[in-house]
Amino acid sequence: MNFQLRKWMSIGIEAHLYFMRDMYNNTMGTALRPFARFYMANRANWRLYLSSGGGLIYCIDPFPAPTFNDGRIGTRLNGTTRYDLSTEIRFSPRTFFTAGICHLHISNGNTKRVDRNPSHDSNGFIFGISHMLWPHHQHITH
C-alpha cells in the first residue's frame, strides 16, 4: 500500500515473502516494512524514485545460518532495511509495471549479543505490477 503525500513523496507499507536458499541457508521468512519514496521524476505515465524502509522479518529457521567463515547463528526475528532505485511505467489507467535495483540488510541489531548477530546483506532486482485500487483525483485550488 502506498499513499501519495506530495508530487515528490509518498509513504506506505509493504509485505514480502522471502526464500533464503544458498549453500548454508534453506528457509523462508515474511517481512512487514514501512517505507518512504522520493520521486526524482513523476510524470503521468512514468515515475523514477528512491525508496527506503525498515521493518521486521520472521524466518522459519534462524537466519543467517553459520558459514565456513563465520560460526555464528542468527535468530528467527530480525530487523530488515531495504533501499531501492526503481521506475514505474503506466500500461493502463490504473496499472503500472515496476522495475528496479535494491539492497537488502537483515540483522537482529545485537539484541541477542554480537555472537548471535551475523547479519546478511544482498543486492537484487525488483520486478512487479502495481494497481491503484482507488482512482487518483486531482484537486485544483484557485
| Among 45, 55, 38, residue whose Cα is nearest residue 2 | 38
Q: Does the pTM exceed 0.85? A: no
Residues 6+ apart with CB under 8 A from 90: 44, 45, 46, 96
Per-residue pLDDT of the chain (142 residues; tens, 9 = 90+): 888 899 999 999 999 999 999 999 999 999 999 999 999 999 989 999 999 999 999 999 999 999 998 888 999 999 999 999 999 999 998 899 999 999 999 999 888 777 778 889 999 999 999 888 776 544 333 3
